[in-house]
Chain A
Amino acid sequence: MAEEILKVEHLDKYYGDWQALHDINFSINKGEVVTLLGPSGSGKSTLIRTLNGLESYRKGTIYFQGKKVDPNPKEWQALRQKIGMVFQSYDLFPNLTVMDNILLAPTKVQGRDKEEVRKEALALLDRVELRKHADSYPRQLSGGQKQRIAIVRALAMHPELMLFDEVTASLDPEMVRGVLKIIKELSDQDHMTMIIVTHEMNFAAKIADKVLFLEKGKILEETPGKQFFDHPQTDRAAEFLNSMDF
């Protein structure tokens, strides 16, 4: 049986009195790709941010690699070394070069040898075709380039799970393809376990092993990827898919 990387049970999240997530249950196995789909404000981003402790939750349990997560800052800090995350706004550190952005966490947090990480970083930069920018500063790069570096930066930590939160949403259309291609490769070649929030339906259809369709903070349906796009189980999901032109 496949190894379970992450499991969420009965998760409730509140902002003040307002309930943002209702009784969320799902799990993801090693090598699987889960995409979170749904209209704006459905709680996709909130959910994915909860999965690495950037948002707290009131009730429910998260298991990472079979172990129950005790949601305190120290435990999350340790877990984040195994859960990589890339955000919509890329957020490279402007005060550091591309290479130093990549080296920072592996050397300072994981205490790995700098030269060894550097070699690995260069190989990763090769993969995203940005090796020549190793010594550039983020301000010298385009949005798409920054986002590819942000992915490399997360990968350099050797994560067990990658979270992608609308990583193409603020990119120019022609930049989107390059970023998505890298994510697709991560799935096909590296069998990386990934949870992806996206509005790119074509991409989601190609990459998703499983789709969680959310609305108003609830998971309306959980359907294998291909089936979701051909035969969604709920009317609401069918309506949502019809409203997206792709």
Chain B
Amino acid sequence: MAHSGINVLFEGTNFARLMGGLWTAVWIAAISLIIGLALGTILGMLRTLHNRVIRFILLMYLEFFRIVPTVVLLFLAYYILPRQFNVNWPATWMAVLAFSLWVSAEFSDIVRGALESIPVHQRESGLALGLNQWQLFRYVLLPQAIRLELPATINLATRVIKTTSLLLMISIMDVINVGQQIIEANNQNYPTGVFWVYGLIFILYFIIDYPLSRWAKHLTAKQKY
């Protein structure tokens, strides 16, 4: 009887290994998002201040991370930091570093846009009550900005999760890398393995990203006070 290709997924510990790879990708994405969103909020706030020097530097920061392909960022972190700066972290943390900086740059622009779209009167009435700059952000502007930011932020999160598929470039055992190994190891017995493995990976990414994408769409649709 001919092998059914789908069995490649259940051969040995293959399925568990794929799930482990997926977990690696997910936690790197999650930690990068947490760090990146926190840092991006601060950078976004700074970008609404009137100081031209700060604004210019942060704009360059944003453009750098927006223009440079993510895979290049990963290589920069993975190859240059250890060699030039003697930073010897595991590859996963290098990935977290590169992703966090990228997320913070992209998110700073989302935060800036949201803050700037809040009516100027909100700011003025806050000032008129004697709030200082920080209190104004903390109690008035940021809470209102978060509502505006949410859809774009979720979209950013789905992009980060997708982009974890580049992690294999710096030898991290993410789900793609594991899948690749399984395909190569089972090429003899399962010639159609490539179809099943990537099919599963497709479904896994879809299961994670699709609800996020729906949620963002839902929020955008009902967005108004």
Q: Which residues of A contact B (CB under 8 A)?
A: 52-54, 77-78, 80-81, 84-85, 87, 89, 91-96, 104-105, 108-110, 139, 150, 153-154, 157
* Proximity string of chain B (101-138) to chain A, C-beta cutoff 8 Å, 1 when within and 0 when not: 00000000000000000010110111111111001000
Is B143 an interface position by the 8 A CB rule? yes
| Contact call A52/B128, Cβ cutoff below 8 A | yes
| Contact call B126/A93, Cβ cutoff below 8 A | yes
Contacts of A109 in B (CB 8 A): 129-132, 135
| Contact call B122/A80, Cβ cutoff below 8 A | no
| Contact call B132/A80, Cβ cutoff below 8 A | no
Contacts A89-B121, A139-B225 hold; do A77 and B129 have CB atoms under 8 A apart? no
Instruction: Offer 18 A-B interface pairs, CB within 8 angstroms, sorted by A.
Output: A80-B128, A80-B129, A87-B125, A91-B119, A91-B125, A93-B122, A93-B126, A93-B139, A93-B140, A93-B144, A94-B144, A95-B143, A96-B139, A104-B131, A104-B139, A108-B131, A109-B130, A150-B125
Q: Which residues of B contact A (CB under 8 A)?
A: 119, 121-122, 124-132, 135, 139-140, 143-144, 147, 225
| Contact call A87/B124, Cβ cutoff below 8 A | yes
Complex CA gap A28/B147 in Å reads: 43
| Contact call B129/A153, Cβ cutoff below 8 A | yes
Closest 9 CB pairs of A and B: A91-B125, A105-B129, A81-B130, A85-B128, A95-B143, A80-B130, A109-B130, A91-B121, A89-B121
- The chain A residue with its CB closest to the CB of B118 is A94
Determine chain B's interface SS by DSSP, over half rule.
Answer: helix
User: Which of B119, B121, B128, B140 has the most chain A CB atoms closer than 10 A to its own CB?
Assistant: B128
- The chain A residue with its CB closest to the CB of B140 is A93
| Contact call A77/B132, Cβ cutoff below 8 A | yes
- The chain B residue with its CB closest to the CB of A137 is B225
User: Which of B119, B125, B130, B131 has the most chain A CB atoms closer than 10 A to its own CB?
Assistant: B130
Contacts of A92 in B (CB 8 A): 125
Complex CA gap A85/B140 in Å reads: 17
Contacts of A84 in B (CB 8 A): 128
Complex CA gap A71/B154 in Å reads: 43
Contacts of A94 in B (CB 8 A): 144, 225
| Contact call B130/A91, Cβ cutoff below 8 A | no
Contacts of B119 in A (CB 8 A): 89, 91
Contacts A104-B139, A108-B139, A139-B225 hold; do A91 and B122 have CB atoms under 8 A apart? yes
Contacts of B140 in A (CB 8 A): 93, 95
Q: How far is the CB of A56 from chain B (nearest CB, A)?
A: 12
